[in-house]
Amino acid sequence: VKVIVTPLENSGGGQQSDQLMQQQQQHQTIKAKHILLATGGYPEMPQGTDGSIPRHAISSDGFFELETLPRRAVVVGAGYIAVELAGVLQALGTETSLVVRKERALRNFDDMISETLDTEMERHGITIFRNTNGVSKISLDDQTALKTVVLNNGEVIKDVDVVIMAAGRRPAVESLNLKNVGVKQKDGGYISVNEYSETNIDGVYAVGDVCGNVELTPMAIAAGRRLADRLFGHPSLQNAKVSYQNVPTVVFSHPPIGTIGLTEKEAIKKYGEENIKVYKSKFSNLYYGPWKVDPSEKPKTAMKLVCAGTNEQVVGLHVIGMGADEMLQGFGIAMKMGATKADFDSCVAIHPTAAEEFVTMFPWGLGSQESGAKVSPLNGAASPEPELKK
């Protein structure tokens, strides 16, 4: 495979792309047996009805270039980045508004997650503008340097210091000249790959955000590792590939969110409502016990187990609240191994923690006594022993 490296065209990636353009002054030809496309993505910047948005707003990249804390900020978007940045700004003391196109943020998450986050963001003081269909235009007052944000539903937000657009990302592929070599792309410009991260061109591979499968940094790392194993590793790894199923993910919102597997609605659609059983709990973390405030004002933790089949296999696990980010990794391993509700119930709780709620979820110990483990841990069984060399 031969790659011609040419001066980059500005793909909308901001200052970094400009710097790369200045540094790259001449053509270079590079030949290799394997070429990996892993150029990532960049924030999408909508134009608005009059082209004013790029002039008066910054992207999520621009957030990290802010030198002073804005007095009043508007964050536009309903995904990971939008809710994370809105939470950070509000916690630091900025009067923060979140603009979402539909009813609430994180609509693709389980309803329990998105509804609880919505309540907690408002409790923290974030103003949420709903059903706006996005931003129409932004104007700047030259005398005060303050901005006015006009939404597509007619609402207006005045006296804004900073507007942050976090309304989506695009794959950074514009400068790669993929069409010229015939690399197939999907809607939105994402590179089409098979289960082995191979494009339709021999020797050309792609991983990460350019593929648009699961746009998470650890997912890209895992895909890259499996690809390297297959191409350069031991012959036993010649079929190595990454799995895009049951990928645990965390949103560092306020409070944090952890989720893996199917939402309740997705599970019902896939397996049928008659085959689904849901366990859930909502409580105030013990950390807030000494707080001299009304119990209704204490931050809430919400949890849900979505189970399917007669064996009650856990097909979805969702949590929002203090410590959700740290507790998810271990439960993710259990789900990848096919854990059932009975497996969760068989694990002794660690008290006092929030995580213990997942292994004491009511009703406890009354479901189907089936294990998803290779060696069942149910009914006081001994733990499995490792297989030793003979």
Residue 351 annotated to the active site: yes
Rg of the chain over Cα atoms, rounded to whole angstroms, equals 24
Q: How many Cβ atoms from other residues are within 10 Å of residue 143's Cβ?
A: 6
Q: How far apart are CA 130 and CA 98, in angstroms?
A: 9
- Could you tell me the sign of the dihedral formed by the alpha carbons of 207, 210, 212, 216, in that order? positive
Q: Which of 34, 56, 318, 351 is catalytic?
A: 351
Q: Is 205 helix (H, G, I), strand (E, B) or coil?
A: strand
Cα distances (angstroms) measured from residue 131 to each of 97, 102, 103, 104, 152: 14, 4, 5, 8, 9
Give the containing element (helix H, strand E) for 37. Answer: strand 35-37
Task: Read off the amino acid at residue 273.
Answer: E
Q: How far apart are CA 28 and CA 371, in angstroms?
A: 58
Q: How far apart are CA 296 and CA 64, in angstroms?
A: 35
Q: How far apart are CA 303 and CA 323, in angstroms?
A: 12
Q: How far apart are CA 120 and CA 124, in angstroms?
A: 6
User: What are the b/e assignments for 233-260, b being 16+ CB within 10 Å?
Assistant: eeeeeeebbbeeebbbbbbbbbbbbbbb
E-only strand ranges, 142-266: 147-151, 156-160, 162-165, 169-171, 204-206, 249-251, 257-261
Degrees to nearest 5, angle at CA 119 with 118 and 122: 85
- Could you tell me the sign of the dihedral formed by the alpha carbons of 338, 340, 343, 349, in that order? positive
Q: Where are the alpha helices (DSSP H) in the chain?
A: 15-23, 53-56, 60-63, 80-92, 111-123, 178-181, 217-232, 264-271, 324-336, 341-346
Q: How far apart are CA 193 and CA 58, in angstroms?
A: 32
Q: Supply the residues annotated as catalytic.
A: 351
